[in-house]
Amino acid sequence: MKKFLLVLLLASFLASAASVKILSPTQQTLSSLGETIDLGVIGPGQTIEVVADRTSGVKAVTSASGEGIALWDSLTAVDLPDGWSSKPSKLYEQPLRAFITASKNAPDGVYEVSLRLLDEYEGANQFVFKAKITISRKVLETSLFQEKIVSGTGQPAVYYIRIANKGSASDAFDISLQGLPQSWSYSKKVFVPFKSETIVPYELIATDTGEYKFNFNVVSYSSEDIRSVENAELKAESSLIQDLRAVSRGALLFPNAEQVIYSALGFLFSFD
């Protein structure tokens, strides 16, 4: 009889034990109060989004889910480090989305925050768990597919920049140039979701001939400490030289009677 009662008590406890399923930026189910989840790495000033399913695993006193299971109504970050901020989820949204923003001056290292789930009407007790967040300024990685381009004046030279966001926070980045005439360059904004990468074309049009060395600067809008620099070169030649090189590659730009002469000129100008 005692064993039977113990089994019933254990079954009752398991039926009432709350849990939460974290969907992003990592996936994990937590079932113990105070349990810790590792949310990954973000840079200073960046904002991480924590997404949780509303299902609590607790039998509802009055059920809004229609299945007799209580639903979490809100998710809030609490006990934040100094200089950090947060934004709670909207009430009753599915899934719940809370946001945590690190201090722009946060040194690299490991930090801990707490997150709290509340159920207003269906009988589930509040559920608090801990989250580990690592701050690093090395969450951005860039590269150029082609560092040096030869182009004619007035003709587009297109550089392709790979931007990899290795952290757990989605972010926007500014692409700008340093070392070229101001009239040639411009700022370009690109959004990169967390743990993903994108390839961005950047078009330059030179108005003067010459050889130019310059830098692509990629900087996070969240913090200037998150940045990357790529060295590049542009050789701008007169359009006539570019046309003659095209002839040497077989482009028929002129009548047949003149083609021999221009092909010879194209051959001469085909060497850098």
pLDDT band at 259 (very low <50, low <70, confident <90, very high): low
Give me the pLDDT at residue 10, please.
36
pLDDT band at 182 (very low <50, low <70, confident <90, very high): confident
pLDDT digits (tens, 9 = 90+) for 115-163: 999 999 898 999 999 999 999 999 999 999 999 999 999 999 999 999 9
**Average pLDDT score, the chain:** 86
Give me the pLDDT at residue 249, please.
47
DSSP assignment, residue 84?
-
Q: How many domains does the chain contain in total? A: 3
Residues 82 and 123 in one domain: yes
**Helix/strand number for the chain, H first, E second:** 3, 19
Token representation of residue 124: 């589930």
Q: Residue 245 pLDDT more than 90?
A: no
CATH for 214: 2.60.40.10
Could you tell me if residue 121 is inside a domain? Answer: yes
Give me the pLDDT at residue 93, please.
97
Q: Which of 106, 109, 89 is nearest to 41 (CA)?
A: 109
DSSP assignment, residue 124?
P
C-alpha span between 27 and 13 (Å, rounded): 25
Global pTM value: 0.80
C-alpha span between 52 and 74 (Å, rounded): 10
List the domain range (segments joined by +) for residue 48.
Answer: 18-135
Q: Residue 264 pLDDT more than 80?
A: no
Could you tell me if residue 8 is inside a domain? Answer: no
Helices in the chain by DSSP H: which ranges?
2-16, 239-248, 256-268
Last residue of a domain, one of 119, 135, 151: 135
C-alpha span between 58 and 68 (Å, rounded): 8
